Amino acid sequence: MDPRRIEEACLKCKDSCCSRCFEVGEESIFNCLTDEELELLVKEKRHVHFNAGETILKQNTSASHVVCIKNGLAKIIAEGDGDKKLILRLVVTHSILTGGGIFVDEIRHFTVQAVTEVNCCFIDTEKIYELVSKNSQFAFELLKLNNRQNIQMLNNLVGITQKYMPGRVADLLLYLKNEIFLCNPFDTRLSRKELSDMCGMTMESFIRILKEFKSSDIISVDGTTIHVVDEEALLLISKKG
């Protein structure tokens, strides 16, 4: 099939097609799809733009779509009773959000909110089901994705239950630097409250620990920008508890 067919099928969102939501050569669960399958995916998908702060997916609503992030930064929030929140992880450019329970109860188990501007596609869950049954490699990729999230959450759970606050903050900083922003002075765009919600503690506690790290010359902070000066020290703090 001519690649231009795909282009054509996706007039509204131009280069935002899932086919090129990912760089050439980049790993993606869509790589394994044939042109025909890709067209099936693309045909009815919708491209949506969100401003910073807007809610992309809301917890407890029905999981009718899978979201594929073309560019931007978003946070995944588990909303508890009251106004208690836990930010599970961040999702960046080129991520796929299956949304928690698409194969179980078709309900979203978390909220996703844009941190920066976010461009993404909404893909009908039905299409995903169809692809799983048509293309076993795709099923495999989805299983992988699921597994990875499972492992990440497990590590999170162990960290949060077994480490003291400095260890958790160290883990957060390492996560932001090495897994999300991939550069060193990095601008989180996240408030102290949001950062503290990522390691399950109060904003005040988080600030105090950040201050400790600053005065120990482990990091330097300027607004929402953080510079990891002594990564070894962070690794040590993470290990020790």
Partner DNA sequence: ATTTTATATTGACTTATGTCAACTCATTAG
Partner DNA sequence: CTAATGAGTTGACATAAGTCAATATAAAAT
Residues that bind a copy of itself (CB under 8 A): 78, 80-81, 84, 86, 88, 100-105, 109-110, 129, 132-134, 136-137, 139-140, 142-144, 146-151, 153-154, 156-158, 160-162, 200, 239, 241
Count the residues of the shown chain that bind DNA, applying the rule CB under 7 A.
19
User: Token digits for 12?
Assistant: 């509204």
Q: Which does 61 bind (CB under 5 to 8 A by kind): DNA, a copy of itself, none?
A: none
Q: Which does 166 bind (CB under 5 to 8 A by kind): DNA, a copy of itself, none?
A: DNA
- Is 180 a binding residue for DNA by CB under 7 A? The answer is no
CB of 34 to a copy of itself, least distance (A): 15
Q: Which residue, 55, 53, 47, 2, is CA-closest to 21?
A: 47
The dihedral formed by the CA atoms of 103, 135, 19 and 66, expressed in degrees to the nearest 10: -10
* Site map 110..149 versus DNA, x via CB under 7 A: ----------------------------------------
CA distance 214 to 85: 26
Q: Which does 164 bind (CB under 5 to 8 A by kind): a copy of itself, DNA, none?
A: DNA
Number of H helices, E strands in the chain: 8, 11
CA distance 122 to 143: 20
CA distance 62 to 108: 6
Of the pair 6, 170, the CB lying nearest DNA is at 170
User: Token digits for 104?
Assistant: 């179980």
User: Token digits for 33?
Assistant: 């799809």
CB of 65 to a copy of itself, least distance (A): 16
Of the pair 38, 87, the CB lying nearest a copy of itself is at 87
Site for DNA, rule CB under 7 A? 164-166, 191-193, 200-205, 207-208, 210-211, 221, 223-224
